[in-house]
Structure 1
Amino acid sequence: MRNRILPCLLLCCLGFISCNRNQKNAADQAVAEKPVSVQCYVSIYEKDTVSIQINTLKSGKLTGNMDMKLFDMPVKTGKIAGEYKGDTLFVDYSFIQGTNEKVVFKNPMAFLRKGNELVLGNGTIETYLGTSYFKKGVPIDFENVKYKFSAVDCAK
């Protein structure tokens, strides 16, 4: 009995290791992929400034950077990743707040594309098993919003 359990356990461990390698390789390929196009947007609302750089990849996925400088709050600096569904851009925003690099926050965001503008929507967010997402069946509001982004030239 013991002789059969040990090889099975070894095979299971090898399987987990190889699955983990495939996930890392896929993530590395997405990071290494060169963008087909790059667009930059800025939104200024009262004393807040939010800037976004969106990289469109050949696969249609989007990556980029977003900085949120909100009045009387630490700067939020992070990365976005997502894709368009129709005229709405759904992304996950992974960011650090201020100089605390030990804690990484992750929030879902939705932007409605209107010509050369993006509008950041307000929606009901739920969290399940540590993952946040927009609540299904509840519409995202793109009318009563603070942040409307205008296209700008990207800084080199």
Structure 2
Amino acid sequence: MRTLVTSCLILSCIVLQSCKKNETPKEVEAIQAEAEKPVSVDCYQAIYENDTVDLKLNTLKSGKIGGDMVMKVAGAAEKVGKIQGEFRGDTLFVDYTFIEEGNKNKTFKNPMAFLKRDQQLILGNGTMQTTMGVTYLVKDQPIDFDRVKYKFTSIPCK
């Protein structure tokens, strides 16, 4: 009796698997490319004393956020990189993966949190911790969005 049930289950799985739509690799790529197309693009800029930070956010169909960020901080190497993350309520949590000018062989990755308030994005200051080579914002510690350097205002995209 057990072998009959097992045989029926295996046969059912095979039949269901063979009924699956046969998708060519090109169709799969087209579906993935469509899902990754931005539904909106927003550009922001923050200026603090001699520092300038440019941010381009692409909102994807899936609700995820991707984009580019360039940080020109006085007295430090220019940082150019990509951001990826998502909104949780009114806060955008991203990972910023970047290279520093003059050190293109090494890639850095930092977590960041932006609070969306009206037409502004405010880069928060939070407690970071590194465990096993991965840096993240400590969950139990609040992120300060009041005493900050960088407040991003919306600008037209280039």
User: What's the TM-score, normalizing by structure 2?
Assistant: 0.78
**Is the 8 Å Cα contact of residues 66 and 83 (structure 2) preserved in structure 1?**
yes
Structure 1 unmatched ranges of 5 or more: 1-24
CA distance in 1, matches of 2:98, 2:33: 18
Could you say if the C-alpha distance between residues 63 and 31 of structure 1 is closer, same or farther in structure 2, counting changes exceeding 3 Å? farther
**Is the 8 Å Cα contact of residues 40 and 60 (structure 2) preserved in structure 1?**
yes
- Give the structure 2 partner of residue 20 of structure 1: none
- Give the structure 1 partner of residue 54 of structure 2: 51
Give 1:31 deviation, angstroms.
Answer: 10
User: What's the TM-score, normalizing by structure 1?
Assistant: 0.79
Could you say if the C-alpha distance between residues 128 and 46 of structure 1 is closer, same or farther in structure 2, counting changes exceeding 3 Å? same
Give the alignment partner of residue 64 of structure 1, picking from 47, 62, 67: 67
- Give the structure 2 partner of residue 109 of structure 1: 112
CA RMSD of aligned residues (A): 1.8
Task: Give secondary structure in 1 for the equivalent of 2:67.
Answer: strand
Give the alignment partner of residue 133 of structure 1, picking from 111, 128, 136: 136
Q: How does 1:83-98 map to 2 (within 5 A)?
A: 83-98=86-101
Could you say if the C-alpha distance between residues 52 and 30 of structure 1 is closer, same or farther in structure 2, counting changes exceeding 3 Å? farther
Q: How does 1:8-23 map to 2 (within 5 A)?
A: none
Q: What percentage of aligned pairs have identical amino acids?
A: 57
CA distance in 2, matches of 1:109, 1:99: 23
Answer with 1 or 2: which has the greater Rg: 2
Give 1:30 deviation, angstroms.
Answer: 7.1
**Is the 8 Å Cα contact of residues 35 and 60 (structure 2) preserved in structure 1?**
no
Structure 2 unmatched ranges of 5 or more: 1-27
The reply on whether 1:145 has 2:144 as its aligned counterpart is: no
CA distance in 2, matches of 1:113, 1:131: 26
CA distance in 2, matches of 1:36, 1:99: 34
The reply on whether 1:82 has 2:85 as its aligned counterpart is: yes
CA distance in 2, matches of 1:106, 1:31: 27
Give 1:104 deviation, angstroms.
Answer: 0.3
The reply on whether 1:38 has 2:11 as its aligned counterpart is: no
Give, as a single letter, the amino acid of the residue that structure 1 aligns with 2:65. L
State how many pairs are aligned.
Answer: 129
Task: Give secondary structure in 2 for the equivalent of 1:90.
Answer: strand
CA distance in 1, matches of 2:153, 2:66: 18
